[in-house]
A = this chain, B = another copy of it.
């Protein structure tokens, strides 16, 4: 019997993905349906609903759920959920679609799902600002200051503000996982597939390291801390889209494979990938990570410094603190059961003679090897030596090769991405 945490929502894995004859019938039916082109973010969300990663969600949210999630982090049925999962459509599409109608959801023309429409609701500029302020604004941040910079500098806010003026809600039937199973074969896994691997290992206390960057010593240390105190760690990489300048998933996975091969005990680590795009919602996204990881059988989400953050929008440990403030529904099925594994800012310290954190190292700045993302990228692209102990040579070699192949234009974009967040 599985010792793993049950999926979120108390209904088991809720998978909208069709199989066999049902799948074929749905694809055929979709030919006659109105086609709606969806965003990259919505594609990731849709596939997660397909494979059970977003259990108990079975479709995009209606207005009541959207509002409840923004304001209270609860679905209207009282289940915890931290971020809106909505699908935007144009005014033209909105005019053509009626509740009760079935539509086909496509990305770059390729069919991903059908939806039985429940509700079409307008998202005014006010509504979008309401969502952005509740989902993307840091606790300590002044509202005025947030709006001065977020529309130009926060990729998540930019994305919401650029959404089309209506949302369409309804239950979905997913017919494809897109390019992920093939492109990331061996890494991309559904919750059921990962649970099977975890069960085969007999794990119970399973930590996840969220990764959207290559693994340096700090990430390795977080993962290894988890290995010391849990049955094992899942290095869980985002394989959907990132902001410009971030390192593509193929390169990251190559780095991780190498690191795992040379520096980890295989019995205690699994590498896996999930198909979402980054929202950069900081604390709220940290909660989303914990929520979908529960579906993957994971019950400890490692939360380090500035988890899922961007720029200076969030306090360094806001993504840790938010776990102490979330609603706790009486029904455990409706509660978030994946707990945070909170780790402080980590680095190599020469006096400590090893990796350490602000909690364990009493020494000074001059003893610590800390490198900003910007500086690292500059050193790598220029082929300059990286300070000792910052990363593993085998990983840095892969990154050097990647950076040396980049064109100057991409290079400049990267500089803008500045000192990136921790995970």
Contact = CB atoms under 8 A, between A and B. Distances in A.
A228 B357 contact: yes
A263 B353 CA distance: 10
B356 A264 contact: no
A354 interface: yes
Nearest to A268: B359
A229 interface: yes
Identical copies in the complex = 2
A389 B353 contact: yes
A362 B264 contact: yes
A227 B359 contact: yes
Given A228-B357, A353-B389, 7 more contacts: A225-B225, A227-B359, A227-B360, A228-B344, A229-B343, A268-B360, A353-B354
Contacts of A225: 225, 228-229
Given A228-B360, A360-B227, A263 B352 contact: yes
Interface string A367-388: 0000000000000000000000
A262 B361 CA distance: 9
Given A264-B362, A266-B362, A362-B265, A224 B356 contact: yes
Interface in A311-365: 341-344, 348, 351-362
25 contacts: A224-B356, A224-B360, A225-B225, A225-B228, A225-B229, A227-B359, A227-B360, A228-B344, A228-B359, A228-B360, A229-B229, A229-B341, A262-B362, A264-B360, A265-B358, A265-B359, A265-B360, A265-B362, A266-B362, A268-B359, A268-B360, A348-B353, A348-B354, A353-B354, A354-B355
A223 B314 CA distance: 30
A225 to B, nearest CB: 5
A370 to B, nearest CB: 16
A55 to B, nearest CB: 28
Interface string A210-251: 000000000000001101110000000000000000000000
Secondary structure dominating the interface of A: mixed
Interface in A156-211: none
A388 to B, nearest CB: 9
A158 to B, nearest CB: 36
A361 to B, nearest CB: 7
A35 to B, nearest CB: 50
Nearest to A224: B360
A265 B228 contact: no
A320 to B, nearest CB: 12
Contacts of A343: 228-229
9 closest A-B pairs (Cβ-Cβ)? A354-B354, A224-B360, A265-B362, A227-B360, A227-B359, A354-B355, A268-B359, A225-B228, A229-B229
Given A353-B354, A354-B354, A263 B227 contact: no
A227 B263 CA distance: 23
A105 to B, nearest CB: 42
A228 B207 CA distance: 15
A260 to B, nearest CB: 9
A265 B361 contact: yes
Nearest to A221: B354
A271 to B, nearest CB: 15
Contacts of A228: 225, 343-344, 357, 359-360
A208 to B, nearest CB: 15
A224 B357 CA distance: 9
Determine which residue in A351, A352, A356, A362 has the highest number of CB atoms from chain B within 10 A of its CB, and name it: A362
A263 B351 CA distance: 8
Interface string A275-294: 00000000000000000000
Contacts of A341: 229
A223 to B, nearest CB: 9
A208 B200 CA distance: 33
